[in-house]
Amino acid sequence: MDREEFETYLNANSRVVAIFRSEALAYQHSKNRQRATSKQWSETAVASAVDKMVGQFIDNVYDKLKTSIKESKFHPYDSWVSFIEINEVLDNLEDAVSEMEFAE
């Protein structure tokens, strides 16, 4: 499974990306409110920062899983799905993201 397939799989089978995006957006808005009025970011800049955070989150999860999964030569996608399901990765990710707090 490549990175794009992984992101598609996450979005189709879990709310983890949506939950993370919501938390990241709240964090970026909070940071933005702390800036001087003249230095505050536009909504476009805030959204861009959130997109970057989401991308880094997905990259980190993908890279960590990649080291743990033994891909079948003939069915690499199925190897990922099987590992994710057996180890309840999506449920664990949702729980972890729900409890996560961003540091300044």
Report the distance separating Cα 69 and Cα 53, nearest Å.
24
**Res 88: pLDDT:** 96
Confidence at residue 104, expressed as pLDDT on a 0 to 100 scale: 65
Neighbours of 6 (CB within 10 A): 19
> Would you state the pLDDT for residue 101?
87
Tokens for 94? 């949702």
- At residue 22, the pLDDT reads 95
pLDDT means per 10 residues, the chain with 104 residues, are 95 96 95 93 96 97 94 91 95 93 78
Q: Sketch the domain layout of the chain as residue ranges.
A: 3-99
* Residue 71, pLDDT score: 87
